[in-house]
Chains A and B, each alone.
Chain A
């Protein structure tokens, strides 16, 4: 999931696809956290707590990214990420 997200971040032209790809990377990290917490951490559940935090932070990051994209879209009128190289 992390590699697919990284690939999408690099090759996608659409800004929304880039943001979704970043969420894929975050999902891969979260699955790793939960897996290691289940099989290696015993009963502390630290990975579960971190996953919960990262889920919240990831959702906030996505919303902020979409809002910034929406504001910039009003000027640029394009979804192509190459047109956003200059702020």
Chain B
């Protein structure tokens, strides 16, 4: 059994350190890797506070999906600079290794959620995984159902808008 206080202080120091590293790193790839650590430490905070579901969502969205998109953007926008530089390690190798490490961390966190007795997870409120998920279901599908539907609508509009934007750009380029 690990004390929550120790985890909290270690995670706090690490999250501040890595967030400052993100801001002041010269290489944008190092900045991205540090930001991944910050997001995963944020997921650990959520887990310590008793919100396993939010921790998993945070680790999946910000720890895995978003860094991949940011990494692809970096690759698309720094392709010419990479050819000019003399570094032997390509960005693609670093990002691939990072994705494997993150997948490993994600599996560990999933194992912790399945067996939540590893940490002292807010015992005073008697929260367990079933009550947490049940409360989420009631919140999303009963009390905040309109907010949930609006969020779904927003995501649909974003996908449709980006698709239309791309098609419009292609049409303009073909007219030229």
Binding site for B on A (CB under 8 A): 1, 4-5, 7-8, 11-12, 14, 16-17, 19-21, 23-24, 27, 30-31, 34-35, 37-38, 43-46, 48-49, 51-53, 55-57, 59-60, 62-64, 66-67, 69-71, 73, 79
Name A's interface SS. Answer: helix
Instruction: Write the chain A residue with the least CB distance to B140.
Output: A49
Chain A residues with CB below 8 A from B66, complex form: 23, 59, 62-63
The answer to whether A48 touches B139, judged by C-beta atoms less than 8 angstroms apart, is yes
18 A-B contacts (beta carbon < 8 Å): A1-B19, A4-B19, A16-B73, A17-B22, A20-B32, A24-B22, A27-B38, A27-B39, A31-B46, A38-B50, A44-B135, A44-B139, A51-B51, A52-B136, A55-B58, A62-B66, A63-B158, A66-B73
Chain A residues with CB below 8 A from B61, complex form: 55-56, 59
Chain A residues with CB below 8 A from B132, complex form: 45, 48
Across the interface, B139 reaches (CB within 8 A) one of A23, A46, A67, namely A46
Chain B residues with CB below 8 A from A24, complex form: 19, 22, 35, 38
Binding site for A on B (CB under 8 A): 15-16, 19-20, 22-23, 28, 31-32, 35, 38-39, 42, 45-46, 49-51, 53-54, 57-58, 61-62, 65-66, 69-70, 73-74, 76-78, 122, 125, 131-132, 135-136, 139-140, 143-144, 147-148, 151, 154-155, 158, 162, 169
Q: A38-B50, A49-B144, A55-B61 are in contact. Are A70 and B73 (CB under 8 A)?
A: yes
5 shortest interchain CB distances as A-B pairs: A49-B139, A45-B135, A8-B23, A66-B73, A27-B42
Cα of A68 to Cα of B85 in the assembled complex, Å: 26
Across the interface, A64 reaches (CB within 8 A) one of B42, B136, B158, namely B158
Instruction: Write the chain B residue with the least CB distance to A78.
Output: B77
The answer to whether B23 touches A17, judged by C-beta atoms less than 8 angstroms apart, is yes
Chain B residues with CB below 8 A from A49, complex form: 136, 139-140, 143-144, 147
Cα of A43 to Cα of B155 in the assembled complex, Å: 29
